[in-house]
Chain A
Amino acid sequence: MSGSSKDVLQGYFDELLTGFDAEEDTQGYQPPKTPQRRPNAAPPSSAAPTPQPQQEPATPIPPADNPPQISELNSAKNVAERLAKQKLARLLKSAPPEPAVEVKVQRPVVEKTLTHTEIDARTKARLLAETKIREKTVRKALKPNPTEVVVESLAPKPVVSKPAVSEAPLVPAPQVSDPAVPEPIVPEPSVSETIASEPAVAESTQQDSEDSLAWMPNGRPVWAQERFEVLLFSVSGLTLAVPLIALGQIQPLTEDLTPLFGQADWFMGLQPTPVGKIRTVNTAKFVMPERYDDAFLQSAKYVVSIDGLPWGLAVDSVNQPISLQPEDVKWRSERSKRPWLAGTVKEHMCALIDIPTMGKLLQQADANAPSAANNNNTH
């Protein structure tokens, strides 16, 4: 018994020693650890746009370098193979939801975005795309079949003579190389859609956006319940922030800006753009009349239009968009004096504008607006 038991023990140790490497593999594939790795492995697969699900399993298999010894442990090998198959199956399952379709859709979008961008400065162009993108684009594009939607939107574009003009020159987007961040480009398709579907889509979209721009009982707008993005721009030295969700387009202020007589002093005029005439507001005068300097008329270079409204804010320069947490903003509880001011952001020393409210104010100020008060949603 002692001899046989010795042999058995010796055999067991030998097996342990020789199978050490294999054992590591086995542990790696053991149920408890596998689920932890999956989440890590999954993201890369989604991040890499065109990964072929079949090749992916190769990535997690690196432990296969050790396997030469696995042959010795049949049980471990079987386990490893089984786990590998399971992983592969999971990867295949997870892969489908992020089909290449989206990738295809995004690329064409980039070109379009660039088109619009052309109007301004290169960097600002991207901001344009992002602006529209956030809500509308994503919504519309994702609703039914992203692929189909894109195709449709692309087809009508050529028909829309207006945007087409800007599209051609935009093509040479050297900045496209920047797309190191491919994701932001995705929303762009919406931009084109907006333009193409001028009236009908705009109206339906408006209601959605109005809902999403309402204020909640907690003193914050709907769009600020979670992390949100704002676009910073400067006006006569003051930095203002506007939620991207409420932004329309950024167009350059040109000599075509036509003032109208008999209007309020904060009305700069009508700026013709490929998308229509933007009623341009002298933001400096509107926001801080007490500190207004006429130099703003010369320094203002862009007009940032309000989503869904024919109004836009003249600004000196447009900066980068930033992400804010609701806690970053000191929300104004009482907004009787400056109803357009949503709050202030200390970190960036800027005032956050309540664009929807400002849009309403502007609409109500317009005596010619078709039942301005009632039709705020309709515009």
Chain B
Amino acid sequence: MATSSTKSKTSEDPMLQWVTFKLAGETYGINVMQVQEVLRYSDIAPVPGAPHYVLGIINLRGNVVTVIDTRHRFGLEPGEVTDNTRIVIIEADTHVVGILVDSVAEVVYLRQSEMETAPNVGNEESAKFIQGVCHKNDELLILVELDKLLTDEEWAELENV
């Protein structure tokens, strides 16, 4: 009996894992299920004529992966590459891309109920990337919805890079 109630409770309020990373001093989280791997920074080959939010491409075990300038995408100031800089390979909307981040922190467990809606004021398109916020480990975690990172047109544009 108790087990069934626990199960139903779990299904109503599932536990999710989030990979957290730092960007411009803030902590962001992305669903661990969408993270394929985390790479150290390596040279990124620029692609002439690529969209402004594309840093370039990298060779990942024989596959070409496009790397997105996350700071630019989020409307943040450009940053410097450091020893902590990482390229997180993600799968979003059936596409595999890399996102450049200042550093990768950890994997945190969050219940759905712990997530709070973030405000969305202003007209910036990037605001829709924010899925919610959550207070964890004495800091505010900004949860990013990767599927909305690019629009259909932009994904199509990426295919041509």
Contact = CB atoms under 8 A, between A and B. Distances in A.
Interface of A: 256, 258-267, 270, 272, 277, 279, 362, 365-370
B134 to A, nearest CB: 10
Contact of B120 (A256, A265, A270, A367): A367
Nearest to B123: A264
Contacts of A263: 119-122, 124, 127
Interface string B97-130: 0000000000000000000111111111111111
Interface of B: 26, 74-76, 116-130, 133, 135, 138-140, 142
A267 B123 CA distance: 12
Those 5 A-B pairs whose CB atoms lie nearest each other, nearest first: A264-B122, A262-B127, A262-B126, A262-B124, A368-B120
A260 B74 CA distance: 9
A366 B121 contact: yes
Contact of B118 (A256, A260, A265, A272): A260
Contact of A272 (B123, B130, B135): B135
Contacts of B117: 368, 370
A49 B128 CA distance: 58
19 contacts: A256-B140, A258-B133, A260-B130, A260-B142, A261-B75, A262-B120, A262-B125, A262-B128, A263-B120, A263-B124, A265-B122, A267-B119, A270-B118, A277-B116, A277-B133, A277-B135, A366-B121, A367-B120, A368-B119
B121 A367 contact: yes
A368 B126 contact: no
B139 to A, nearest CB: 7
A298 to B, nearest CB: 16
Contacts of B118: 260, 270, 368
Contacts of A270: 118-119, 133, 140
Contacts of A279: 119
B132 to A, nearest CB: 9
Contact of B121 (A264, A277, A370): A264
B139 A256 contact: yes
B129 to A, nearest CB: 7
B122 A262 contact: yes
Given A262-B130, A366-B121, A368-B117, 18 more contacts: A256-B138, A258-B140, A260-B142, A261-B76, A262-B74, A262-B125, A262-B126, A263-B120, A264-B121, A267-B122, A270-B140, A272-B135, A277-B116, A277-B135, A279-B119, A366-B120, A367-B121, A368-B119
Given A277-B135, A277-B140, A261 B120 contact: no
Contacts of B140: 256, 258, 270, 272, 277
Contacts of B129: 261-262
Nearest to B73: A261
The residue among B119, B125, B126 with the most chain A CB atoms within 10 A of its own CB is B119
Contacts of B120: 262-263, 366-368
A366 B74 contact: no
A365 B121 contact: yes
Given A270-B140, A277-B135, A260 B76 contact: no
Nearest to B133: A270
The residue among B122, B123, B126 with the most chain A CB atoms within 10 A of its own CB is B122
The residue among B74, B120, B124, B142 with the most chain A CB atoms within 10 A of its own CB is B120
Nearest to A258: B140
B124 A366 contact: no
Contacts of A272: 135, 140
A369 B116 CA distance: 11
A100 B75 CA distance: 61
A351 B126 CA distance: 35
Given A261-B75, A277-B140, A366 B119 contact: yes
Nearest to B117: A368
Contacts of B126: 261-262
Given A272-B140, A277-B135, A368-B117, A261 B122 contact: no
A100 to B, nearest CB: 43
A378 to B, nearest CB: 13
Contacts of A262: 74-75, 120, 122, 124-130
B71 to A, nearest CB: 9
A370 B117 CA distance: 9
Contacts of A370: 117
A362 B120 CA distance: 10
Contacts of B75: 261-262
B130 to A, nearest CB: 6
Nearest to B132: A368
A259 B119 CA distance: 11
Contacts of B122: 262-265, 267, 365
B119 A260 contact: yes
A368 B121 CA distance: 8
Contacts of B128: 262
B153 to A, nearest CB: 19
B144 to A, nearest CB: 10
